[in-house]
Amino acid sequence: MQRNATTRFPILLVHGLFGFDRVGPLELFHDVRQALCNAGARVFVPYVSATHSNEARGEQLLAQMDRVLEGTGAAKVNLIGHGQGALAARYAAALAPGSVASVTSVSGPNQGSELADFLRKALTPGRLPEHVANRVATLFADFISLLSGQAQLPQNAIAALAALTTEGVGAFNDRYPQGLPRHWGGNGPQLVNGVRYYSWSGTVQETAKQAGNSAPDPLHDFCRAFSEYFTTEAGQNDGIVGRFSSHLGKVIRSDYPMDHLDTLNQGADGGWRKGNDPMELYVKHAERLRIVGL
């Protein structure tokens, strides 16, 4: 059946921590962008720092939004942010609501990440471990930028980690509360300042067999290992972000059998879990946006 995801406004897919558009043949959003384009959507992947604060990445996103609006003649854009990309999208919508039709958070740490809390506490401020971690992470981010063939942007790994902790995102939410649920685990306001807010996410599967994957996959093994550092949302997280911490606006679903990388369609199995195709989620959502005139 021919799909129709011809949204009124172009879609920007915003990557999260350590993200990129393309490195050689590897595209971060894998076949997601192509699936959306095949269904009729105009899709762009803005280039923002792989590691930096939510506000710094949000400012970079605002600048690229202006270029897309100018180039396409569109009045607004639909922002779909994965991971920390959701926070950059929220920032852009808060500062320029007239230019944003919708914000969709995919596995976004909208209440912070318990994994980030653990990692931040493991780094002693002002001592060697923190400096080493910052240097290694920044070099890695610069390496990604170099391979992507695009101009390098500023990187700050420690600022990125601090921005993803419960405390860091809490301060961010105090300034930019649009779309946040009023009660833990609930839905948030779907329409704020003319911008529609949506979210979806998944939960890590305990074993490869339970995840519907018979082949070993180290990427998913990492997510399963990281999930052990969650206490508040133990068993209810995708390995990077807690299920209920991801809620924003209208929650489409937050317990897809997908880990954090699945919702990017990454991994040896292409992100498929028990019949859930991540590409299908993006196309369905674009159709949802089209139906409401966005």
Longest pairwise C-alpha distance within the chain: 59
pLDDT exceeds 50 at position 220? yes
Strands (E), the chain: 11-14, 22-23, 26-27, 43-44, 77-82, 100-106, 191-192, 195-202, 250-256
Q: Is residue 6 part of a domain?
A: no
Q: Is residue 248 part of a domain?
A: yes
Catalytic residues: 277
Q: Is residue 95 part of a domain?
A: yes
CA gap 64, 185 in Å, rounded: 32
Six-digit token string for 120: 């931040």
Phi/psi at 252 (nearest 5 deg)? -70, -45
pLDDT at 141: 42
User: Which pTM value belongs to this model?
Assistant: 0.86
Q: Is residue 5 part of a domain?
A: no
CATH of the domain at 273: 3.40.50.1820
Q: Is residue 2 part of a domain?
A: no
Instruction: Give the total number of structural domains in the chain.
Output: 1
Six-digit token string for 31: 């076949």
Six-digit token string for 185: 């685990």
Q: Is residue 1 part of a domain?
A: no
Q: Is residue 264 part of a domain?
A: yes
What range defines the domain where residue 176 resides? 11-291
Q: Is residue 217 part of a domain?
A: yes
pLDDT tens-digit readout, 170-206: 999 999 999 999 999 999 999 999 999 999 999 987 6
pLDDT exceeds 50 at position 270? no
